[in-house]
Amino acid sequence: MIDPHVHLRGWNENRKETIEHGLDVAYAAGLDAVFEMPNTSPSLTTYDLLQRRIEYTDRIISKKKLRLFHGIYAGLRAEPKQIEEIVNAYSSLFPRIVGLKLFAARSTGDLGIIDEYSQKLVYNTLSELGYNGVLAVHCEKESEFLPQFWNPAEPYSHALARPPKSEVESVRDQIKFADKVNFKGTLHICHISVPESLDAIEQARNSVGFRITCGITPQHCMLYDELMNKAGGNLLKINPPLRSDAMRKAMLAALLDGKIDWIESDHAPHTLDDKLKNLNSGIPVLPYFPHFIKYLKERGATEKQIDDLTNNNIIRTFGIEIENTFRRPDYNLAKEYPFDPFEILK
């Protein structure tokens, strides 16, 4: 199994989780590969930092004797020279650099490219450079945010401040920008959470000249916004936010119907202080990954569906061969983190 969307922390964020611990948990959860996101500290936005991260992680994998593939998304900034350096890094370091990442809104880290002019610059530059790999995008449109609704004392308000429309409009933007410059790669929409976003993707798949994929997280299939009204609601604060129970059910049904390309955890651990005092967004998800697979099977997903969602669709899109070892996962990994966001389901 592959988890193509994790935040391994480490380096300046060892207090949240060390890279070694994240890899250990991923391996114990039955995963054969993880692709990590670049909004680390420091951000993975230069050739040198990407090379350092690869070498550092390789030493851990070798020391621990883990049969685990580690890939990285290189982070993009709205700077043509930086984009060229990152495209060259992808060409030189593939398959360890699995693709590029664009944050169309601010989330954790400093990689937000939030205005349309800057986003168009990224697509124009990638097109001019002939980039034909995967471009993964965090889709939220900040001009559609409603920050006046955010009240830390009412965690549910986070879902109001970053409403479904912000995701839908950002998805439409990315498709439009990519189409206008004749983008040659694969546009991947990360952690889709709104049925209307999926509608926009399905419509575009029949009309654009590039491939579009999308992924969904276990949390957007299992958790919903009203759960944030319970005690400790800020522990469930994520970006994009949890949606309504009706949207959650619709997205789970879409996953089971084969409309979504793969499952991605968006594993993003924090300390309790970071969650409850600093109100950081993100939750630990790797421990729940095998539970979610088990749940899908109980809901009627076939072995082929599971294999497609956790392996086949991913390796076909990225062009990377990864051995599927079918190891038995450890279902008792929640204790590895200071809180279990899925405890509420028990």
- Model pLDDT, residue 323: 85
State the pLDDT confidence band at 346, using cuts at 50, 70 and 90.
confident
Q: What is the pLDDT, as a whole number, of residue 283?
A: 99
What pLDDT sits at residue 341? 98
Query: Could you tell me what percent of the chain has a pLDDT over 90?
Result: 96
**pLDDT category of residue 77 using cuts at 50, 70 and 90:** very high
Structural domains counted in the chain? 1
Integer angstrom CA distances of residue 294 from 31, 328, 339: 14, 12, 21
Q: Domain with 98 in it: what CATH number?
A: 3.20.20.140
Residues spanned by the domain of 34: 2-345
Can you list the positions of beta strands (E) in 182-323?
A: 186-189, 211-216, 262-263
- Give the CB-side neighbour count of residue 15, counting CA atoms within 13 A: 7
Q: Give, in order, the Cα–Cα distances in Å from 187 to each of 15, 24, 71, 289.
A: 33, 30, 18, 24
DSSP secondary structure letters along 44-64: S-SHHHHHHHHHHHHHHHHHH
Euclidean distance between CA atoms 157 and 200, whole angstroms: 26
Which region, left, alpha or beta, applies to residue 96 given φ > 0 means left and ψ of -120 to 50 means alpha? alpha
| pLDDT of res. 183 | 98
Q: Answer yes or no: is pLDDT of 44 > 80.
A: yes
Tell me the pTM: 0.97
What is the per-residue pLDDT across 249-271, written as a single tens digit (0 to 9) for each? Answer: 999 999 999 999 999 999 999 99
